Structure 1
Amino acid sequence: MGRGDLTDSEWARLEPHLPRNVGRGGRWKDHRLVINGILFRQRTGTPWRDLPARFGSWQTCYDRHRRWSADGTWERVLRAVQADADHEGRIDWSLVSVDSTVCRAHQNAAGARRRPPRTSGKRTRPAWHRDDEALGRSRGGFTSKIHVASEGGRRPLAFVITPGQWGDAPQMIELLGQIRVPRPSGGHPRTRPDHLCADRAYSSRRNRRYLRRRQIKHTIPEPANQRANRQHRGSAGGRPTGFDRQIYRRRNEAERTINGLKGFRAVATRFEKRAYVFHGTVTVAALRLWLRS
């Protein structure tokens, strides 16, 4: 076993959720060997063609990663691993923190072919298949942004990828909507944390109204301009927002989760042209964090 490869305990938790060889067609190459090759590329950021020979054909590793990113297999495996952790009581729902980070896009990430516009008669593509490829211009240059919701154990519950110049507050509702941890015994998935913590970039009347409607307690500081506007409106401005400094100290859990994700060089720097492939890359990084815990 090489450095960074799946350990026996990690493989035992991952193997039951991987696709099986069912039906016609050729058999899958050994899942463990191929996934170790994908993880090597995740950790080092090396081009696919430069994968060491011990992982077999680089084309097999790349094709499987791209295929599982496109059809949502990585997403389903991550949900299954989260469900196992929740069943064992290893998810801290008492406080979920949200934050975002900007990833610089490599020059090779540009130049994806433009897709024709979608028609109303076709089935809607998954959210991670984006027409803008989640690339944009920000102060950091050519970038993408990852919005992360982290549970108390510093592992990502959900994430959303957008162009780098997009703001944080408008993405909070979509980000919380991505939290869906299935229950192995059946029933509706777990979607609602007990408490939410975020910095002032997420403060807006729309977000606070959404959290109150879902009965989610929250600790989000109010910026000075929003406070002045509320006070200027008098009684029509509503009551002051509550703020607990002790709870707010735990906001760093989201930042530490992001540091864990960006410990993978293929996440810290985006090399993929297509948004759905980069989404799969971030999903694999999140999956590895869950397997390690």
Structure 2
Amino acid sequence: MRRHELTDQEWELLAPLIPRAVTGRPRVEDRQVINGMVYKIRTGISWRDLPERYGPWKTVYTRFRRYALDGVFTRALQQIQAKADAAGDIDWLVQIDSTIVRVHQHAAATGRKGGSSGRTNRNDHALGRSRGGLTTKIHLACDGKGRPLAILLTPGQRHDSVCAQPPLERIRVPRTSLGRPHCRADQVVADKAYSSRGFRAHLRKRGIVHTIPEKADQRRHRLRRGFRRGRPPGLDRETYRQRNVTERCFNRLKGFRGIATRYEKTATSYEAAVSLASFLLWARSV
């Protein structure tokens, strides 16, 4: 095993989930191609610059694109989460947050001459404008041990409060036996960006305990309402101190240079890369 390649344990977890060709001419081995994908995401190099030991770069890219469209890495992430849940290894103290990723200039050219407008195309591929230029925002829900449970990509200027519910709704951990997937957190921890009455009402409706501090302007507005102001939201400060787990999860994800800077043109390919990196984080913790 070389640097930035799958270990035997990681390959044993991933191999049963890789689609296999039934007919056709012999192709490059699956492990060799997957190692090329991992190497590319780890180093952030161009597809054309992949070392020859991984086979033709077009083969690696074509298969990665096919897996991205089929959702192979998303299903692999769910399967490893299911094994951890069956063993009681998931801490359902779910934490949500987001991080902004700078888009490389090679990933910004997603439009075609005579096609849709640039504004529509950027939104379709989770490309947005901010002070730093073109950016993408990764919204993440992770468990209490700092492992990704669900991922959502949006344009970089999208506010966190607008995307508070979708990451939680994307949590879907299948059961290894009969039964519905595990979709509901026991408790949600988030920062002030997620402090909205609508989001708190949504969590209460689902019976989810939340630990979210109140914004200063919301506190002032509540006090101005007098006897109609209602009860202030509670805040368990001991639980809130664990919110740094999300930041450490982002730190590990951005250890992949292909995640820290977005080089993929389409949101589907970039989300597949984030899912593959998340799978590797899980594989090294179970």
TM-score interval (norm. to shorter): over 0.9
Q: What's the counterpart of residue 199 of structure 1? A: 191
CA distance in 1, matches of 2:24, 2:229: 64
CA contact (8 A) 1:261 1:286 kept: yes
Q: What's the counterpart of residue 59 of structure 1? A: 58
1:78 corresponds to which letter in structure 2?
A: L
Q: How does 1:151-170 map to 2 (within 5 A)?
A: 151-170=143-162
2:33 corresponds to which letter in structure 1?
A: V
Q: What's the counterpart of residue 70 of structure 1? A: 69
Q: What's the counterpart of residue 8 of structure 1? A: 8
**Alignment partner of 1:291 is 2:283:** yes
Q: What's the counterpart of residue 228 of structure 2? A: 236
CA distance in 1, matches of 2:54, 2:247: 33
Q: Closer, same or farther in 2 for the Cα pair 1:113/1:139, shift >3 Å?
A: closer
1:11 corresponds to which letter in structure 2?
A: W
How far is the alpha carbon of 1:216 from its aligned partner? 0.6
Q: What's the counterpart of residue 257 of structure 1? A: 249
2:6 corresponds to which letter in structure 1?
A: L
Q: What's the counterpart of residue 83 of structure 2? A: 84
Q: Which piece of structure 1 moves more, 71-80 or 130-139?
A: 130-139
Structure 2 length-normalised TM: 0.93
1:190-227 deviations in Å (ceiling 9; x for gaps): 01111110000010001000000011101000000011
Q: Closer, same or farther in 2 for the Cα pair 1:45/1:100, shift >3 Å?
A: same
Q: What's the counterpart of residue 218 of structure 1? A: 210
CA contact (8 A) 1:130 1:276 kept: no
CA distance in 1, matches of 2:99, 2:280: 19
CA distance in 1, matches of 2:124, 2:51: 33
Q: What's the counterpart of residue 17 of structure 1? A: 17
Q: What's the counterpart of residue 106 of structure 2? A: 108
1:19 corresponds to which letter in structure 2?
A: P
**Alignment partner of 1:183 is 2:186:** no
Describe the SS at the equivalent of 1:149.
Answer: strand
CA contact (8 A) 1:78 1:287 kept: yes
CA distance in 1, matches of 2:27, 2:97: 38
CA contact (8 A) 2:110 2:122 kept: no
Describe the SS at the equivalent of 2:145.
Answer: coil
CA contact (8 A) 2:139 2:152 kept: yes
Q: What's the counterpart of residue 43 of structure 1? A: 42
CA contact (8 A) 1:74 1:284 kept: yes
CA distance in 1, matches of 2:234, 2:129: 35
How far is the alpha carbon of 1:230 from its aligned partner? 1.4
**Alignment partner of 1:29 is 2:21:** no
CA distance in 2, matches of 1:110, 1:292: 33
CA distance in 2, matches of 1:222, 1:131: 31
Unmatched 5+ stretches in structure 1: 118-128
1:76 corresponds to which letter in structure 2?
A: R
How far is the alpha carbon of 1:288 from its aligned partner? 1.0
Percent identity at matched positions? 52
Describe the SS at the equivalent of 2:98.
Answer: strand
How far is the alpha carbon of 1:116 from its aligned partner? 6.2
Q: Closer, same or farther in 2 for the Cα pair 1:91/1:140, shift >3 Å?
A: same
Q: What's the counterpart of residue 148 of structure 1? A: 140
* Count of aligned residue pairs for this structure pair: 280
Give the 4+ runs in structure 1 shifted more than 6 A.
none
How far is the alpha carbon of 1:231 from its aligned partner? 1.6
